[in-house]
Amino acid sequence: MTELEIDKKNVMIAKFLGWFQTEHQGPGSWFKTTDCAIVVAYSSYNNYPHQDLPFRRDWIWLMQALDKIEELGYYTEISNTGTHWEDDTKSHHICAIYTDQHNRFPECVRKFGNSKKEAVWEAVSNFARKYLDKELPEAKKR
């Protein structure tokens, strides 16, 4: 995966979280609106040497997006499927996002990865794109 593809997926996650940029700030500053103010959500200027959004490399930032998905009423599942059929020396992880806890098919998103973080990042970025493009079914009310 290229750096451009990674950046695009990270931007999708940031926009899904409601983050935005302004033309008056540098390209490394992202903001969000709270109940009473506009605050800095993330700044690459404070996170040297990283000049990108943190979702792919930092589990804590990624979990904010996963929490929002669950707050919207979707169900998430992260699991280890054991060894991959192409290479039985590697563990294979999966992250799936469902609209209904009891009826898991069809799911909204299902992504695989060589690590839990990679599988979750792929699923969350794909979910964010579909959510922003209004391609997702509504979640069942909990």
Q: Please give the share of the chain, as a percent, with pLDDT higher than 90.
A: 56
Q: pTM for the complete prediction?
A: 0.86
Per-residue pLDDT of 29-83, as tens digits, reads: 899 999 999 998 988 877 667 678 999 999 999 999 999 999 999 999 998 876 5
Domain range 3-132, CATH class: alpha beta
Residue 33: φ, ψ to 5°: -100, 130
Per-residue pLDDT of 70-97, as tens digits, reads: 999 999 999 887 655 555 556 689 999 9
Sketch the domain layout of the chain as residue ranges: 3-132
pLDDT of 135 strictly over 80: yes
pLDDT at 8: 96
pLDDT at 23: 83
Tell me the C-alpha distance between 52 and 70, whole Å: 25
